[in-house]
Structure 1
Amino acid sequence: MFQKRRSFLKSLGLAGLGLTLTPSALQAAPKQPAHGQDFSPITLSGRVQSGGKGVAGVAVTDGYNVVLTDASGKYELQSNATADFVYLSTPRGYEFSNQNGITRFYKRIAASRGRFKADFELQKLTQDDTKHNFVVWADPQIISKEDAEELKTKSAPDLKQLVASYPSGTLFHGIGCGDLVWDKFELFEDYQQAIGISGIPFFQVIGNHDMNLEARTDEGSTEKFKELFGPTYYSFNRGEVHYVVLDDVFFIGTAKKYIGYLTERQLAWLEQDLATVKPGSTVVVSLHIPAYTNQHARNKEKEPSLGGVVSNRKELYRLLAPFKAHIMSGHTHFNEKVFEGDNIIEHVHGTVCGAWWTGPICYDGTPSGYGVYEVEGSELKWYYKPTGLPKEHQLRVYPVGALEERPQHLAANIWNWDPSWKVEWLEDGKPMGEMERITALDPLSVELHLGASKPSKHKWVEPHLTDHLFLAQPSATAKAISVQATDRFGQVFKVTSNLSELSLQ
């Protein structure tokens, strides 16, 4: 009983202040103050069941504290009037409840006399979910009906086709990794239609362009997102993997101004959520703003921008230290892998919209597309899927002279590269060794984006430096070259071409 009361006091921010509130004092507190925020106590209760039987050990939360259902599937949670939802972390072995692909794992709290009852019905999967796949859609970012049509007629069908290319019954889910729209809330309907077309259930992450920019604080900026998609931070399970979604976009009360930051409320919740996960397990965390990128280093800047990375990421890293962790992010419109110690990999994704629907690529030459992850047990394999192109398309080779600063070299952009890859080249069939990796501008991005007059749709788009470009210098007599990239999983991707036939496209 004491523990429950302390959890409740902690949710009010009163624990540790030397205050003791008796039950009578709590009952005497006004339910709806004339001014200020309502902190009235609320008891949340209910049952999680499947086929009429209670499901034990399911994590249920109000966004402050986490409790587990008992042997009969029942739970009780002391909350307060600032909580918006009661929701669960879907356990492994169960379907993701959804409406036309938009997952629904929550109930909005509507308390009466200080209580709210919420029951949840789970549908058991008909197959083992130890093996499953998921995709990450970063930044669909539609600002017009024209963009929305691209999303619905190209991106969504591409994903549907990809899913169909796997054996029948393969389990898939998606993660919309923020900036689902571009400040135009009326286009959320188009985004949801695209999810419906894709044919798989999607979980959503809030991005900086999904916020209410007229709010006076960060708390108010999430209202529209919550209305459509529920909580901004939550977790779920599939197979042996625990998935977490976080809101790391902190709105500072001025239109379009934000920082990458995780609030204390989220971190305290995350600490409890991860306490339900066995150390050593695989945890996948999705957020919009990357925890970290090396963009500032490429640009020779002293430190990253406040809106470009998560300022208090060290605490996130600390909480993830006991696990094998993958962080999924977007926001940047370029593709990058970031490693934090031996157990954390961050996947900064190229975007569904590319460079804001201006053409086929992102800032760094990565094709418009999305990440695909194949899970078996606790292990993940991954690749980047370019929209409208085969999944084997993992590099682009440019002709000699395409890179102005290295005019005697040919270049290759290998967008999903990380240090475990091996990149080699052959001249007229003869192995020539590994290629030289450099930091430079992608030649196609220069062609499409560099300069004040292009691209015509959004003239402010410019190329960004990337460190996944590779160079080789053919001999004067060379006729054909091959670039061969072997990823960390042993998959080989090869492009062979006559030198005279290479072009920017």
Structure 2
Amino acid sequence: MSHGKTSQRYFIGLVLFIAGFHPANLSRAESKPTARGYVFEDLNRNGVRDQGERGLPRIIVSNQREVTVTKKDGSWELPASDDTIFFVVKPSGWMTPVNHHNLPRFYYIHKPKGSPNLKFEGVKPTGPLPASIDFPLHRQTEPRKFQAIFFGDPQPRDQKELDYIARDVVEELIGTKAKFGVTLGDILFDDLSLFERNNAIIGQIGIPWYNVIGNHDLNFDGSDDRTSDETFHRHFGPNYFAYEYGPVVFVALDNVKWNGAKPKGTGTYTSWLGEEQLGFLKALLPRVPKKKLILFMMHIPIYQTQDREELFRLIEDRPYTMSISGHTHWHGHRFLGEKEGWKGEKPHHHVINVTVSGSWWSGAPDESGIPHAMMSDGGPNGYTIFNFDREKAVIDFKAARRPANYRMSVFAPDEVTSDSGSSNFVYVNVFNGSEKSKVRMRVGRTGEWITLKKVLEQ
């Protein structure tokens, strides 16, 4: 979606003399300023390009529209507007700095006048473009096989629900072997003043944590989509970006378009990518080898996004793509085909992620005072652990504060009489199940295995 400000022309007492007018002069006057900088190896990890710290070639840098690659000396340049976020695409085997809450710092925000006056604070004025915008990287080992954690919709309304997150999921994840985590939007529930406290809690997990924007993370008093992400920018940087880890490429998308505040009411949103974001993808994807798996991360399921087919046309010829979202408050798998506008040789696998909040932290409290928070599909709240191995990914559903092998619930009669016949039903809710799942049961150790029939699909 488009977040750039429309360039304007100001004519103040301008007199053009025919003899001295040249179109080329006007073109130069209207051209956008250029941002320049370096991507460098930060040997001492102080975030500053010191003498002896070499520039890194062939690293991707973007302004959220155009994409460039650093030269041999690590230098880059891109057009700039008065509302631009520059970022480096973290390459495999390298890492950006993280802040005190383990939020990756891979970007530079250029908003000379800062964000507009909004209920929740945005970006402070950044002033003129620096002479050099430099991105530090340091080496790190990234294995072929690794794990990553995905949160859907933690969505706390207040400090009480932030405490639920800390006790229900964060506590058990401290010390995880996962390499990083991602929250797939609805980080909060409208009160954006809670970002700092939320980030402090998630930061306790101890791994880098990326964030995707959701419809409850917007500045609802923003006049349009361009001004709806200002508080998100302040805390997390760009609302869409990309990075590599090991053999996998991760692309975070913003598919929530804010249609503007209304005098009476909160306004509305649409699921939309927009021309500017698609332009970024058109520039980025040719630089990604087709042998690599790309995971597209977003908030609203891709099959609900209005301009999804423009994205599909860019990736249908790739053998290894997946996508993941939140938003629905139930967990599931979709294999997209012609019905959804996908024309690839094989269906596109889209995951709707289990939510941390279940159904918005509803339900009776358990013995620890935390709501049962069951999702609308009857599954428990929790998160997923993705197990990556080159172009493959195996997904584990992890219920909050439950054993790792808690993967289904079974509903059966307490008693069965000999004359009840076929009136007895056994229902199994397989939390991570899909249309490809096969479920069998038997009665006792010697009973005949029975294949269960699928009876419900979200």
Matched, 1:186 2:201: no
Matched, 1:130 2:144: yes
Q: How has the CA–CA distance of structure 1 residues 256 and 102 changed in structure 2, closer, same or farther, with 3 Å as cutoff?
A: farther
SS at 2:294 equivalent? strand
Residue 28 of structure 1 deviates from its aligned partner by 3.4
Residue 242 of structure 1 aligns with which residue?
A: 249
1:359-378 matches, cutoff 5 A:
359-378=372-391
Residue 354 of structure 2 aligns with which residue?
A: 350
Matched, 1:287 2:304: no
Residue 422 of structure 1 deviates from its aligned partner by 1.7
> Contact conserved, 2:83 with 2:111, CA < 8 A, in 1?
no
Matched, 1:177 2:168: no
> Going by fraction, where is strand more abundant, 1 or 2?
1
SS at 1:179 equivalent? coil
Residue 14 of structure 2 aligns with which residue?
A: none
| Distance of 1:113 and 1:209 partners within structure 2 | 32
Residue 118 of structure 1 aligns with which residue?
A: 133
SS at 2:78 equivalent? strand
Residue 458 of structure 1 aligns with which residue?
A: none
Residue 400 of structure 1 deviates from its aligned partner by 2.5
Question: Aligned match of 1:419 in 410, 417, 435?
Answer: 435
Question: Aligned match of 1:321 in 313, 316, 323?
Answer: 316
Farther off after superposition, 178-187 or 340-349: 340-349
> Contact conserved, 1:58 with 1:89, CA < 8 A, in 2?
yes
Question: What stretches of structure 2 of length at least 5 have no aligned partner?
Answer: 9-21, 44-52, 113-126, 338-345, 363-371, 416-421
SS at 2:146 equivalent? strand
Question: Aligned match of 1:268 in 261, 279, 290?
Answer: 279
Residue 113 of structure 1 deviates from its aligned partner by 7.0
Residue 115 of structure 1 deviates from its aligned partner by 6.4
Residue 37 of structure 2 aligns with which residue?
A: 46
Residue 110 of structure 1 deviates from its aligned partner by 5.8
Residue 408 of structure 2 aligns with which residue?
A: 395
Query: Aligned partner of 1:160: which letter?
Result: I
> Contact conserved, 1:96 with 1:201, CA < 8 A, in 2?
no
Identical residues among aligned pairs (%):
26
Question: What stretches of structure 1 of length at least 5 have no aligned partner?
Answer: 1-9, 15-20, 30-39, 164-169, 293-308, 440-465, 468-505
Residue 232 of structure 1 aligns with which residue?
A: 239
Q: How has the CA–CA distance of structure 1 residues 407 and 212 changed in structure 2, closer, same or farther, with 3 Å as cutoff?
A: farther
Q: How has the CA–CA distance of structure 1 residues 69 and 395 changed in structure 2, closer, same or farther, with 3 Å as cutoff?
A: same
1:420-459 matches, cutoff 5 A:
420-429=436-445, 430-439=447-456
Cα deviations by residue, 1:404-446 (Å, 9 ceiling, x for unpaired): xx9620211002112332200011221332101102xxxxxxx
TM-score (ref. length: structure 1): 0.73
> Contact conserved, 2:274 with 2:307, CA < 8 A, in 1?
no
Cα deviations by residue, 1:242-286 (Å, 9 ceiling, x for unpaired): 110010001111415111111110001111111110123210010
Query: Aligned partner of 1:91: which letter?
Result: P
Residue 203 of structure 1 aligns with which residue?
A: 210
Residue 78 of structure 1 aligns with which residue?
A: 79
SS at 2:148 equivalent? strand
Residue 74 of structure 1 deviates from its aligned partner by 1.1
| Distance of 2:186 and 2:142 partners within structure 1 | 33
What is the root-mean-square deviation in Å for CA atoms of aligned residues? 2.4
> Contact conserved, 1:133 with 1:172, CA < 8 A, in 2?
yes
Query: Aligned partner of 2:81: which letter?
Result: N
SS at 1:318 equivalent? helix
Query: Aligned partner of 1:263: which letter?
Result: G
| Distance of 1:369 and 1:71 partners within structure 2 | 45
| Distance of 1:110 and 1:261 partners within structure 2 | 24
Question: Aligned match of 2:305 in 310, 313, 316?
Answer: 310
Matched, 1:336 2:332: yes
SS at 1:317 equivalent? helix
Structure of greater relative contact order (alpha carbons < 8 Å, 6+ residues apart): 2
Residue 171 of structure 1 deviates from its aligned partner by 4.9
TM-score (ref. length: structure 2): 0.80
Query: Aligned partner of 2:383: which letter?
Result: Y
SS at 2:278 equivalent? helix
Farther off after superposition, 135-144 or 337-346: 337-346
Query: Aligned partner of 1:122: which letter?
Result: L
SS at 1:81 equivalent? coil
| Distance of 2:88 and 2:187 partners within structure 1 | 23
Query: Aligned partner of 2:334: which letter?
Result: V
Query: Aligned partner of 2:336: which letter?
Result: E
Residue 41 of structure 1 deviates from its aligned partner by 1.4
Residue 185 of structure 1 deviates from its aligned partner by 1.1
SS at 1:345 equivalent? strand
Matched, 1:217 2:224: yes
Runs of 4+ in 1 over 3 A off after TM superposition: 10-14, 26-29, 110-116
